[in-house]
Amino acid sequence: MTTAEIKAMATEYIINTYGDRNLAFVKGEGPYLWDADGKKYLDFLGGLAVNGLGHCHPKVVAAIREQAGKLLHTSNLYYIQPQAELAKLLVDNSDMDLCFFCNSGAEANEAAIKLARKYTKDSGRTDAYEIITMENSFHGRTMATITATAQTKYHVGFEPMLEGFKYVPFDELEATEAAISAKTCAILVEPIQSEGGVNIPSDGYLQGLRELCDKHELVLIFDEVQTAMGRLGTFFGYQSYGVVPDVITMAKALGSGVPIGAMLAKREIAESFVPGTHAATFGGNPLVTAAASTTIQTILEENLAVNAVKMGNYLAGGLMELKGKYPIKEVRGKGLLRGLVMEVDAKPIAAKCIENGLVTICTNDYVLRFLPPLNINAGHVEEAVDIVEKSMAEVL
């Protein structure tokens, strides 16, 4: 089928929640994609931080094929060997003790919200249920996580929002402390706000949140849906900042494209979830956990977190070289989560990049966001920067 034929079929039969689209990708290999008409693209969006190993990594493909030939699903009424193995891998590479598996980042954040409330009530603070989140955050599209997402544009048409969330500016400790009350049970924060514009915390901010939570006996939750799995240069993003939360949520790159999410927590907190308090039918089934375990092993064996730092710095440097020629304000980010902040509307530039063969996206109107695979090389970075420059020259 051609792109036009795929688009026509999708338009007729699928609810349009993503707007008009002009691309239909049908093949991927490494950092490259091909559309239904045969055009090749360099993918520096990575399926929105999902394809951390690029497309169709041979080790992951082999693991999926092998597991699909053995067992796809049984439900969590029974023990699942690949699930147990994945849990051990995650615990061994974190400061957490126990895992819960689900299907997405939103579900992982739902689990964290429920766990924080349950643990707080179990601890005797029966009137505490409020969670503080940050302006420009993004935590998911369910009713709880969309309420936790402190961006009103996502709330329109779904009111009333759920009770129990307070919003404060990101990177402002005084505002956060002022919002804490006897009803507060947790603080939920992204180490770097990716969807919100690649917003970076100042030195001491995350440590300050840790200290506030210790002082007021609150649960500190890090939403690492986009920052985990080596992207910032350490396996988990919190390790880049030297601050250990009580609960971590993750998804995106965990399964290299298969739908899986996870919540990790300290034992004392995790044990508030007992049989009957939470569940997920497909959560951590044999197929997705086999894919995730292979993904993690590949990241560790190939030292891809180290490569993320090296290539991320190279990408940032290449983009900054364009600053004198074009209205660029700054390049911000860490590892291979980078934002090119423009002084003009960046949406036409993002569109032109795609037209010229580079997949990227504009967020918050002025930021070109880059989330390439962790195993890219210098040649891929140079190719991407060249396309960005060509696109700017054509648009500006």
Q: What is the mean pLDDT of residues 224-237?
A: 98
Residue 365: band (very low, low, confident or very high) from pLDDT cuts 50, 70, 90: very high
CA distances to 53, 70, 295 from 256, in Å: 7, 20, 7
**Are 342 and 367 spatial neighbours (Cβ–Cβ below 8 Å)?**
yes
Q: Which of 346, 17, 347, 48 is nearest to 194 (CA)?
A: 48
CA distances to 239, 296, 384 from 191, in Å: 10, 20, 26
pLDDT computed for residue 111 by the predictor:
98
Give me the amino acid identity at 296.
Answer: I
Place of tokens 């402390």: 177
Residue 36: band (very low, low, confident or very high) from pLDDT cuts 50, 70, 90: very high
Residue 362 forms beta bridges with which residues? 368
Secondary structure letter of residue 234 according to DSSP: S
Catalytic residues: 138, 223, 252
pLDDT computed for residue 255 by the predictor:
98
Secondary structure letter of residue 358 according to DSSP: E
SS3 of residue 136 by DSSP? coil
Give the integer Cα–Cα distance in Å for 59 and 53. 10
CA distances to 35, 173, 178 from 362, in Å: 21, 28, 33
Place of tokens 């956990």: 289
**Are 137 and 148 spatial neighbours (Cβ–Cβ below 8 Å)?**
yes
Give the integer Cα–Cα distance in Å for 185 and 203. 25
Residue 265: band (very low, low, confident or very high) from pLDDT cuts 50, 70, 90: very high
**Are 288 and 299 spatial neighbours (Cβ–Cβ below 8 Å)?**
no
pLDDT computed for residue 258 by the predictor:
98
pLDDT computed for residue 76 by the predictor:
97
**Are 268 and 254 spatial neighbours (Cβ–Cβ below 8 Å)?**
no
Give the integer Cα–Cα distance in Å for 138 and 151. 8
Domain residue spans in the chain?
3-57+303-395, 59-301
Q: What is the mean pLDDT of residues 274-301?
A: 98
pTM of the model: 0.97
SS3 of residue 39 by DSSP? coil
**Are 226 and 238 spatial neighbours (Cβ–Cβ below 8 Å)?**
no
Q: What is the mean pLDDT of residues 55-72?
A: 98
Q: Which two tokens stand for residue 27?
A: 């093949």
pLDDT computed for residue 52 by the predictor:
98
Residue 41 forms beta bridges with which residues? 33
pLDDT computed for residue 281 by the predictor:
97
Give the integer Cα–Cα distance in Å for 232 and 252. 14
Give me the amino acid identity at 90.
Answer: L
Q: Which of 21, 225, 228 is nearest to 141 (CA)?
A: 225
- Using alpha carbons only, give the angle 255, 256, 260 rounded to the nearest 5 degrees: 25
pLDDT computed for residue 206 by the predictor:
98
Place of tokens 């964290």: 112
Give the integer Cα–Cα distance in Å for 63 and 82. 11
pLDDT computed for residue 204 by the predictor:
97
Place of tokens 């804490």: 180
Give the integer Cα–Cα distance in Å for 358 and 381. 11
CATH 3.40.640.10 for the 59-301 domain, yes or no: yes
pLDDT in tens, 114-146: 999 999 999 999 999 999 999 999 999 999 999
**Are 168 and 132 spatial neighbours (Cβ–Cβ below 8 Å)?**
yes
Q: Which of 354, 295, 361 is nearest to 62 (CA)?
A: 295
Q: What is the DSSP string of 292-316?
A: HHHHHHHHHHTTHHHHHHHHHHHHH
Q: Which of 343, 353, 357 is nearest to 395 (CA)?
A: 353
Average pLDDT across the chain, whole number: 97
pLDDT computed for residue 319 by the predictor:
98
pLDDT computed for residue 219 by the predictor:
98
pLDDT computed for residue 335 by the predictor:
98
Q: Which CATH number fits domain 3-57+303-395: 3.40.605.10, 3.90.1150.10, 1.10.260.40, 3.40.50.20?
A: 3.90.1150.10
pLDDT computed for residue 306 by the predictor:
98
Give the integer Cα–Cα distance in Å for 383 and 8. 32
Place of tokens 């691309």: 23
